[in-house]
Amino acid sequence: MTTTEKTDVDIVQTEHAQTGTPILRLDDVSYAYAKKGRNVISHISRDFYSGKVTAIVGPSGAGKTTLLSLISGLTTPTEGKVLFENSDLAKMDRYRYRSRDIGVIFQSFNLLPGLTVLENIMLTMDASGKKFDRPKKEIALDLLKQVNLPERYANERILHLSGGEQQRVAIARALSADPRIIIADEPTGNLDPATQEDIMRIFLDLAHKQNRCVIIVTHSPQIAERSDSVFKLVRDEHAGGAKGE
């Protein structure tokens, strides 16, 4: 590394003009795995808005997974605050937040292979503790339509589905409690280009037509290009963490 390079992780942000109040905010957030240890991310401030898709990009080790853990309430910052609707997540019921306010789409899907498509979706609805105004099966079938999965798949077991079909089920499951924020970890990493494009259209519709906040971690330049904003983490080995500009 040359001496002209910065001694921290640079964050490059590209975005369209944002208006209104952010639904989610990182307020001077830092995180270290050990007490007095080296920061994985350092003093990041960032706003996320309803109706927008934000792509988080960067090489392995740049702090993307840590950032997702903080946003999803799985862990709390060493310093700073993660704010949901201006409330500090560290002082909220984070289980309620995770089960009702956000929907997470995991890189490996984390579906239960021995259960059917409907059972996977409805199980998550049960776990949310939320009261629904319609039968859960009816809601689950509507969600399958949203992700372009024909109703004939409803009673198929997950282990019989292709990767693209499982991804659609994972998105439907993440939507099952009607969350305002959707978080996706490498949702198109193992998909062919046509399926990747179809999945991205679903995410754009969730943001632009349903006014959800969609946050995607991706290595795909195509996904980043289609997003409304890009949050880029660039690792610098001379110093741990990312420093917001």
Task: Tell me the per-residue pLDDT of 146-165, one tens digit each, with 9 for 90 and over.
Answer: 999 999 999 999 999 999 99
**pLDDT recorded at residue 79:** 95
**pLDDT recorded at residue 33:** 87
Would you say the C-alpha torsion 81, 82, 87, 89 has a positive or negative sign?
Answer: negative
**pLDDT recorded at residue 243:** 44
**pLDDT recorded at residue 42:** 84
CB-CB neighbours of 10 under 10 Å: 17
Beta bridge partners of 116: 157
Q: Which residues of the chain have pLDDT under 70?
A: 1-19, 236-245
**pLDDT recorded at residue 204:** 98
Superfamily name and number for 9-243: P-loop containing nucleotide triphosphate hydrolases (3.40.50.300)
Which of 219-227's residues contact partners 24+ apart within 8 Å by CB, and which partners? 219/57, 219/186, 219/189, 220/188, 220/189, 220/196, 222/193, 222/196, 222/197, 223/55, 223/188, 223/196, 224/55, 224/57, 226/53, 226/200, 227/53, 227/54, 227/55
Domains of the chain, residue spans: 9-243
- 53 secondary structure, DSSP code: E
**pLDDT recorded at residue 43:** 87
Nearest-angstrom CA–CA distance, 174 and 118: 13
